[in-house]
Each structure stands twice: as structure tokens, then as C-alpha cells.
């Protein structure tokens, strides 16, 4: 069991009190507009749901800035909304979590920031975090083939990660792959 000093506990209590006071303020600016995050409908082939030796094609939403960042729909193995194949696609079931490629554009020189509420200092490694530019991207990834396996999705993610490596902003930029999940109810 580790012991925490009284000074550490007092500092944590001070941060908590500052945060509580900050959140109770009534003069906080209220944002009246919604930031547009444009999305488009794309076709996604599932690696876990197969009918008659073919992967099922679903329609899902994908962020347009993320599609541009990762290349385009074809590079991610997705079917464009204008394709004739998309007319045969089914809406995605609620339990389907498509395979995702996630990226964070890092800053070459991370900066120390102070949290508004608590006054706690932290290091920010993401680029453009102080401005309005986007630094985090996520997009579904698959293969545009009749039968898709989880291994093929992972290989496609590795290829895309290698292709965008130069635009990650140095050593703090990163790319990760989240495999497809499909939760099935047993009862």
C-alpha cells in the first residue's frame, strides 16, 4: 500500500475546490452555435458478419475531414455514396462497431497548459489544440472485396498508417487500429 503525503492531499483538495467554484460560476460563456462536423454515408463490409461466403455490406456514417486526412473512401476500403453497390447495402445494426483507424497529429514542441477549472497544469501533445484546427481523426476501415477477414482489415490499416506517417507531425503523432466488434445478445 502506498502512502500519500498530506501536502499532496491538500493540493488535490485545492484543485477540486477551484474546479467546483469554476463550475458554479454563472458568467461562463455559453456557446450558441454547433460546430459543423460534416459526415457522409459510406458502404462498409463487415469482417464478422458473413452470409453465403460474402461479407455483409452496411451503410454507416463517416466524418468528411477524417476521410480527407486518411486519403479517401477508396483508400479506406469504403464504398462511396454514389456507387450502385450502396443501393443494396443494409443499415448497420446498433451493436456493430466498425473497424476504426484513429490518428492524432502531434505537435513538435508540446506545450504546458493550465486547466480552466482547477488550475492544474498538464502537457498537451496534440497539434493545434489551442486553436480551432482539428488534431484527432477517426474513420472506418475495411476492404472493398466480397469477403473480408479481420486480418485483411488489420493489414489495410497498417498500409494506411504507413501512407499517412508523414502527416502525423513528428514523434508525438500516432495512429491506432480498433478492430470490428459486434455484440450479440444471448438472451
Cα–Cα separations (whole angstroms), residue 2 to 7, 11, 77: 15, 17, 49
User: Any residues with CB less than 8 A from the CB of 27 and at least 6 apart, and which?
Assistant: none
Q: From first to last of the 187 residues of the chain, give the pLDDT tens digit.
A: 678 899 999 999 999 999 998 888 878 777 777 777 799 999 999 998 888 888 999 999 999 999 999 998 889 999 888 767 777 788 988 889 999 999 999 888 888 888 888 889 988 888 865 556 788 899 999 998 889 999 999 999 999 999 999 888 878 899 999 999 988 777 6
Do 136 and 113 meet the contact criterion of CB atoms below 8 Å apart? Answer: no
User: Any residues with CB less than 8 A from the CB of 97 and at least 6 apart, and which?
Assistant: 178, 180, 181, 182, 183
Amino acid at each position: 500500500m502506498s502512502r500519500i503525503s498530506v501536502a499532496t492531499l491538500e493540493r488535490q483538495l485545492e484543485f477540486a475546490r477551484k474546479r467546483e467554484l469554476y463550475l458554479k460560476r454563472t458568467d461562463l460563456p455559453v456557446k450558441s452555435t454547433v460546430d459543423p462536423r460534416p459526415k457522409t454515408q459510406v458502404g462498409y463490409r463487415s469482417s464478422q458478419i458473413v452470409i453465403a461466403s460474402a461479407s455483409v455490406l452496411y451503410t454507416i456514417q463517416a466524418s468528411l475531414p477524417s476521410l480527407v486526412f486518411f486519403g479517401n473512401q477508396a483508400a479506406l476500403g469504403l464504398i462511396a455514396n454514389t456507387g450502385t453497390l450502396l443501393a443494396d447495402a443494409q443499415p448497420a445494426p446498433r451493436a456493430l462497431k466498425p473497424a476504426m483507424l484513429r490518428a492524432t497529429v502531434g505537435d513538435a514542441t508540446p506545450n504546458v497548459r493550465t486547466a480552466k477549472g482547477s488550475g492544474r497544469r498538464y502537457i498537451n501533445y496534440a497539434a493545434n489544440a489551442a486553436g480551432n484546427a482539428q488534431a484527432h481523426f477517426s474513420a472506418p476501415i475495411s476492404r472493398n472485396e466480397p469477403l473480408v477477414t479481420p486480418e485483411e482489415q488489420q493489414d489495410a490499416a497498417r498500409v494506411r498508417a504507413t501512407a499517412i506517417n508523414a502527416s502525423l507531425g513528428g514523434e508525438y503523432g500516432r495512429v491506432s487500429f480498433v478492430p470490428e466488434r459486434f455484440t450479440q445478445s444471448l438472451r
